[in-house]
Amino acid sequence: MSERSGDRWERLELNVLVQRVLVVDDRRRAAEELARHWSELGPDEILQSPYMLIGSIGELVEDLQRCRERWGMSYLTIREPYATAFAPIVAQLAGK
């Protein structure tokens, strides 16, 4: 993607609209449960997606940092029903 944007890449802001935030102790189990309802996605794909945040607060902080490094995300948009669940993640990221 950076090849197409040329010298503009560093100035671009990339947003991700997060569809779900699930703060859980067993992220694999939660992803497997979601995969049962979405036949086109497997648990691994769900866990790797920047659009689905599933795991403990620490895991989600690490996932978001990896996503920023991999895709260059500038910011996230969280759907309103998940704002409260996302607040502790924001607090941890703000401290880093």
Domain spans of the chain, in order of start: 2-94
- In angstroms, rounded to a whole number, what is the distance separating the alpha carbons of residues 47 and 13? 24
pLDDT band at residue 2 using 50, 70 and 90 as cut-offs = low
- What pLDDT was estimated at residue 56? 97
- In angstroms, rounded to a whole number, what is the distance separating the alpha carbons of residues 9 and 21? 28
93 or 1, greater pLDDT: 93
Residue 15 has pLDDT above 70, yes or no: yes
User: Of 22, 12, 23, which is closest to residue 73 (Cα–Cα)?
Assistant: 12
Q: What are phi and psi of 51, to 5 degrees?
A: -90, -15
User: Of 18, 10, 13, which is closest to residue 90 (Cα–Cα)?
Assistant: 18
User: Of 64, 65, 71, 66, which is closest to residue 18 (Cα–Cα)?
Assistant: 64
pTM: 0.81
- Going 88 to 92 to 95 to 96, the CA torsion angle's sign is negative
Could you read off the pLDDT of 26-68 as tens digits, one per residue?
999 999 999 999 889 999 999 999 899 999 999 999 999 988 8
- What pLDDT was estimated at residue 6? 65
